[in-house]
Amino acid sequence: MQITRMQIKEAAKAIESKSKVTPRVGLILGSGLGVLAEEIQEPVKIPYEEIPHFPVSTVEGHVGQLVLGKLEGQSVVVMQGRFHLYEGHELSSVTFPIRVMKELGVETILVTNAAGGVNESFEPGDLMIIRDHINLMFRNPLIGPNDPELGPRFPDMSQAYDPKLRELAKQVAVQQGISIQEGVYAGFLGPTYETPAEIRMVRKIGGDAVGMSTVPEVIVARHAGIRVLGISCISNMAAGILPQPLSHEEVMETAEQVKEKFIGLVRGILKSL
């Protein structure tokens, strides 16, 4: 189903009727990283059910609400819990919140996720600035008639992850004494983790980490002219690297351990935006 301008406006109006904040920065918090939303000052929390046309999240470990408020002096809108294709959501649902953020006034989004490490120099607990992505979902949220008021028919993706924001994130990490990786995120549909053969393929084609999110949201953000910074938490190594099987528990455990480092980095980035 196509997203219409009317639906976007209805959702934005409902949000604006509940919060006086005009957000400039949007935060999308991935698995286990939603805690940052608890640190928003003067928060206005809006459950997704209360926003017209918003889908509702189903996955374990994901709360479903928007939080508007201030963080490090910035007016922000935070998605605490996001939508995944593996839940059965349409691409239009997964990316609808990005359109609404744009309508609210968002100019920059910070997307985070938990991802499996493909690059063998990575370790669980590492943070990785996303330099670029590979769309292995083989689906694109912009398929269908293009509304030129929302963005161009053929958007450029040559600098999807803003070089200046990546540089800033690196500087903040250095200031804070956090070691940081940079790499290419390969997005799969899920919900299965990949096979070892798929991970060997990803390594060959230049991927450093794998996950089940982010790609659709970033495509729509770029279409809308929003600047993007992406950060992956390497929660585990991808299939075929270590002897043990992969588990969602490991993903959540690592996210829990990285929480403080991650929150510090995001706060530092917001402060210097």
Q: Look up 84 and say whether it is catalytic.
A: yes
Pick the catalytic residue from 10, 16, 39, 86: 86
Block residue for tokens 């670029």: 132
Least Å from the CB of residue 80 to ligand 6GU: 18
258 binds ligand 6GU (CB under 6 A): no
Query: Binding ligand 6GU by CB under 6 A: which of 46, 94, 115, 269?
Result: 115
Rounded-to-integer distance, Cα 145 and Cα 148, Å: 9
| Cβ pair 115, 232 in contact under 8 A | yes
State the Cα–Cα distance between residues 66 and 63, nearest whole angstrom.
10
Residue 77: CB atoms within 10 A of its CB come to 28
Q: What is the DSSP code (8-state) at residue 272?
A: T
Q: Using CB under 6 A as the criterion, what x/- string covers residues 222-241 for binding ligand 6GU? A: -------------xx-x---
- Which class for 24: exposed (0-12), middle (13-18), buried (19 or more C-beta within 10 A)? middle
CA distances from 65 to 38, 51, 115, 134, 137 (A): 12, 9, 22, 28, 26
Closer to ligand 6GU by Cβ: residue 83 or 193 = 193
Q: What are phi and psi of 43, to 5 degrees?
A: -75, 140
Which of 48, 161, 188, 262 binds ligand 6GU (CB under 6 A)? It is: 188
Rounded to a whole number of angstroms, the minimum distance from the CB of residue 116 to ligand 6GU is 2
Structure tokens at 17: 């009727």
| Three-class DSSP category at 144 | coil
Confirm or deny that 62 is annotated as ligand binding: yes
Shortest approach of ligand 6GU to residue 188 CB, angstroms?
A: 5
Clarify whether 87 is annotated catalytic: yes
Q: Given the residues 12, 37, 114, 255, select the one marked as catalytic.
A: 114
Does 128 bind ligand 6GU (CB under 6 A)? Our answer is no
Residue 53: partners with Cβ closer than 8 Å, 6 or more residues away: 7, 10, 11, 96
What angle (nearest 5°) sits at the alpha carbon of residue 159, between those of residues 1 and 11?
Answer: 35
In the bound complex, what is the minimum distance in angstroms from residue 209's beta carbon to ligand 6GU?
Answer: 8
101, 212, 221, 239: the active-site residue: 212
Residue 47 vs 196, nearer CB to ligand 6GU: 196
**Is residue 212 annotated as part of the catalytic site, yes or no?**
yes
Reading the block at residue 261, the tokens are 């480092």
Stretch that binds ligand 6GU, among 6-14, 21-29, 176-184, 204-212 (CB under 6 A): 204-212
Q: Which of 53, 62, 133, 223 is catalytic?
A: 62
Residues with catalytic roles:
31, 62, 84, 86-87, 114, 212-213, 236, 248
Binding residues: 31, 62, 82-84, 114, 194, 213, 236
Binding residues for ligand 6GU, per CB under 6 A? 114-116, 188, 190, 193-194, 210-212, 235-236, 238, 246, 251
